[in-house]
């Protein structure tokens, strides 16, 4: 990589906001249980941190869909790489994503998962890049709205690397 990484959202800002989201979810689901679905691989760090701040009983499952491969823009073709292990019928589901960009991944996922008859289904994303939206998706919980930068870290990759950075960085000098 010839570009440079600048910090866009610090570790402290992430922790603070994720705590707020967890508390909001706990209040919204009071008296219920929540079934978190992590969209791999990008959603992994966010879901693990978010779940620590949810005080109602939590179950978890994991799904992998891919539309980007090693590209920095979506191909438009979404495929299931790994399906859920368990049924979501009658569950109160929250899909946990790292970022909504074109909206293609989530609109495809929503369509598939709604057919499986959950009791309810909501979306929680750490980052939202509304300027890039191609497919409209209704998002219930958003950590941060960001401008149209290619971002990485905290689960998000550039050519599969940098997912382990504890902050969200912005890639400068790369298309």
Tell me which residues touch ligand PRP (CB under 6 A). Answer: 39-42, 66-68, 74, 97-105, 157
User: Binding of Mg ion at residue 143 (CB under 5 A)?
Assistant: no
- Rounded to an integer, what distance in angstroms lies between the CA atom of residue 36 and that of residue 83? 14
Residue 103 binds: one of ligand HPA, Mg ion, ligand PRP, none (C-beta under 5 to 8 A by kind): ligand PRP
For residue 20, cis peptide bond before it (omega within 30 degrees of 0): no
- Rounded to an integer, what distance in angstroms lies between the CA atom of residue 123 and that of residue 110? 9
Active site residue 83: no
Catalytic residue among 85, 101, 131, 157: 101
- Rounded to an integer, what distance in angstroms lies between the CA atom of residue 7 and that of residue 70? 22
Query: How many residues form the binding site for ligand HPA (CB under 6 A)?
Result: 8
Burial category of 144 from C-beta neighbours within 10 Å (exposed 0-12, middle 13-18, buried 19 and up): middle
Q: Binding ligand HPA by CB under 6 A: which of 156, 165, 168, 169?
A: 156
14-43 mask for Mg ion (x: CB under 5 A)?
----------------------------x-
Residue 152 binds: one of Mg ion, ligand HPA, ligand PRP, none (C-beta under 5 to 8 A by kind): ligand HPA
Name residues contacting ligand HPA, limited to 65-94 (CB under 6 A).
68
Per this entry, what is the length of the chain?
175
Q: Dig out the tokens for 154 from the structure.
A: 């905290």
As annotated, the active-site residues are: 101
């Amino acid at each position: 990589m010839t570009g440079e990484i600048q910090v866009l959202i610090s570790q402290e800002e992430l922790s603070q906001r994720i705590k707020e989201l967890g508390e909001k979810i706990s209040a919204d689901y009071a008296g219920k249980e929540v079934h978190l679905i992590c969209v791999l691989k990008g959603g992994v760090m966010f879901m693990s941190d978010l779940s620590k701040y949810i005080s109602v009983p939590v179950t978890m499952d994991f799904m992998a869909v891919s539309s980007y491969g090693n590209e920095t823009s979506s191909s438009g073709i979404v495929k299931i790489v790994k399906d859920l292990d368990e049924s979501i019928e009658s569950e109160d589901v929250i899909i946990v994503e790292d970022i909504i960009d074109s909206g293609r991944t989530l609109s495809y996922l929503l369509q598939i998962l709604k057919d499986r008859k959950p009791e309810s289904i909501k979306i929680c994303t750490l980052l939202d890049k509304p300027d890039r939206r191609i497919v409209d998706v209704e998002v219930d919980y958003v950590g941060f709205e960001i401008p149209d930068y290619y971002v990485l870290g905290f689960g998000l990759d550039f050519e599969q690397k940098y997912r382990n950075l504890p902050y969200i960085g912005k890639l400068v000098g790369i298309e």
